[in-house]
Amino acid sequence: MEVRGPSGDTVRHAKGPQESGSTPVTKSQTEAKVKARMEELREEIRRHDQLYYNDGVSEISDADYDALFRELKSLEEANPELVTVDSPTQRVGAPLPEGGSFDKVKHVVPMLSIESLRTDEEARDFSAKVVRFLGLESDDELEWHVEPKFDGVSAALIYRKGELVQGVTRGDGVTGEDITANLRTVRDVPLKLHMKPAPETLEVRGEVLIARDRFDRFNEWRAERGQPILANARNATAGALRRSDPAEVQKYPLEFHPYSIVRCDGYELPNSHAEQMQLLAAWGFAAPALDETVQGIGGCLEYQQRMEEKRDTIPFEMDGVVAKLDDMALRTRLGTNSRTTKWQYAHKFKPVEATTVLRAIEVQVGVNGRLTPRAHVDPVQVLGVTVRHATLHNEDYVLGLGIAPGDRVFVKRAGDVIPQITGLAMEAEPSVPADWSDAIPESLKDADGGIREGAIVQYREPFAMPEHCPSCGETVVREGKYVRCPNVHGCRPQLIGRTVHMVGRSGFEIDSLGEKMIVQLYDAGFMESPADLFRLLERPDEELVALDRWGAKTVANLKKELDEKRRISLDRFLAALSIPEVGTSTARLLAKSFRTLDELREATPEQLLAIDKIGDEVAGRIRAWFEDERSASLIQSLLDSGVEIVEEESAVILGNAFEGAIVVFTGTLEKMSRFEAKKAVEAQGGRVGSSVSKATTHLVVGGKPGSKAKKAEELGVQVLLEPEFLKRLSGDDG
């Protein structure tokens, strides 16, 4: 088994030549000697992993290390009873089942945002508020812990009695996804805490990153194998952590850098954040290399300036610094608000700009019909990312910049993320370059080689918003500073966008159907509007399987989910329809005020205005939408294809038997759909998982159960037949 990472650095190297040719211990040797040798190998591998990731030191060759790893694996295969949970060989687990998804996990402590500041004055104001709240005389009395704000992916690691049991993404800050198997592959994440005694429960949060040099080597490795080059380290990190096979994740040179302890039961932590970080280092995490403890806001600003000056020499991408009070007791006094903590802030660096040539301006049609200009530029590096396109916001913005193809323009990454044109660097020369036409982006040409509608590509051609939609040809309408295509029911980008919205989380929640798949369905003629969504159930499997990268299992999963999700509450149905001004919250208000869809369709403007938070404009748009014959046709088509609007209560059986439980379903339920059962469990405070694991508390078994039942039996998970499940839901569990 090849364990060394493809870039040469996802695992590190052990002692020396003496082991490189070592012979595996034979079975004739005593168990004690075998056990001792295995532990010696584990400790050696851990030591060199830590040397490399924490200290940047490599002592021996890759070949020597690989020999050690193979020896350990060979011994463990011959002596499985001696395998330990924290062995380096145990980092890679089984992949997710085909079509599976990560379980949702609610954070015990929400992962709140950090207040983002841009100027020294804003930082001083932040400190002044802290000083006033704490009743201090000067900010010099405060000690701040300052550290780089790395541009990575946040994650939480949870340990029980010193053993890693769960790894969770940030998600929306309240709920994340369980990616334990993937985080176990990160070489500097300790599978078991090094120092004893260990806390009963420990939650450590940090940033998953890829260093610049390792990212470059990883891309070289991919290029040698004909694999696509990755654009930047952060996106590569995020993509790796979302992969379904941990063996593939292990190939990425990921690192974990802790930045806080948010839970610790059964162990008394020091009151200093800096000391807590040192404690994490003793437990086996990466020690902070660039962190400092400074006095007062002056120390914070001086640190921020130093870090900004040398940002290009730091091994990782960073977009600012984070300053947090070092005293944990003071943090508790300050507390939090609904969105952010009050005891820390992020001081962002000045955005880095580059200059490049503007090749074209393309007017695109958005989901809501709004026409938005986008710039095509010559490729340019901005903060380690190659930029080829940049936002131009709206018509007024482009006219205000006064730019045209051929001009040299300033490009920056807004918030260091979204590329945008910020200004004119130099006007184009009067004469047209000889190769200008040859450099027109191919994506802006039609099938005959001509220029597509809405594309401005001629040298020094003035910008003007088109009078007709570039997609469907409809005459556009102006709404203030925006221009919109009114052809809601016939403009392809809008139809696709409304379909994406319909299957999204605020609508029918069809997880197995993504935007790329929806585009394929429209291209193949299998869909002409969102009204055709559930008619896919009537389409022969062989037609869908013929689509690129669609398999029989993909089609089966999609049809199964479409069938399960046809029963929907009124508020979610309304939210799915893309009614102007009706999002999730307004849909709930309408569903509470009108008992049925027919009552809402017949509602007068006066009845709509009587609802709190609905004004004249919103009421008018809702009324106009329902009066449109095409809206009525959409609703009728959905109902004709089997969509059933149900009262929320009919999908939920009251009780609290599943509070805190993690429930997995297998087989076919007779009394309710899988979707209804999921909602019922969630309504009682439980969570529904997709696969059986040690964390699963209940497996509900319907007809024709699969392999999950056998795994539940092996793990000792409580199994409930459908009648037992229904009794528990109703509170009658005997």
- For 134, 228, 293, 300, 407, the CA distances from 137, given in Å and listed in that order, are 9, 58, 20, 18, 54
The answer to whether 240 touches 89, Cβ cutoff 8 Å, is no
Angle, helices 120-134 vs 296-309, to 10°: value is 150
Ligand-binding annotation for 147, yes or no, is yes
Structure tokens at 288: 């902070």
CA distance 277 to 287: 7
Q: How far is CA 642 from the centre of its chain?
A: 33
Backbone φ and ψ for 294, nearest 5 degrees, come out as -125, 165
114 has binding-site annotation: yes
The answer to whether the CB of 577 falls within 8 A of the CB of 497 is no
- Amino acid at site 46: R
688 φ, ψ (degrees, to nearest 5): -105, 125
- % helix, strand, coil for the chain, step of 5: 40, 20, 40
Name residue 294's beta-bridge partners: 144
**Minimal CA–CA distance to 605: which of 590, 595, 620, 617?**
620
Q: Is 300 annotated as a binding residue?
A: no
Q: Which two tokens stand for residue 201?
A: 């429960």
Which residues contact residue 565 at a Cβ distance below 8 angstroms, ignoring those fewer than 6 apart?
508, 509, 510, 675
491 is in an annotated binding site: yes
SS3 113: strand
Q: Is 712 annotated as a binding residue?
A: no
Q: Within 10 A of 306 (CB to CB), how many other CB atoms are there? A: 14
Does 264 show up as a binding residue in the annotation? no
3-state SS, one letter per residue, for 198-209: CCCEEEEEEEEE
Report the C-alpha gap between 587 and 581 in whole angstroms: 9
The full length of the chain comes to 734
Q: Which residues contact 55 (CB under 8 A, 6 or more apart)?
A: none
Q: Has 479 been labeled as part of a binding site?
A: no
149 is catalytic: yes
CA distance 393 to 374: 8
Annotated catalytic residue, options 149, 251, 678, 708: 149
d(CA 87, CA 229): 32
Residue partners of 661: CB distance under 8 A and separation at least 6: 681, 685, 686, 687, 697, 698
Contact (Cβ atoms closer than 8 angstroms) between residue 284 and residue 190: yes
On whether 733 is known to bind a ligand per the annotation, the reply is: no
Which residues line the annotated binding site for NAD(+)?
Answer: 62-66, 113-114, 147, 170, 207, 324, 348
Which residues line the annotated binding site for Zn(2+)?
Answer: 469, 472, 485, 491
As annotated, the active-site residues are: 149
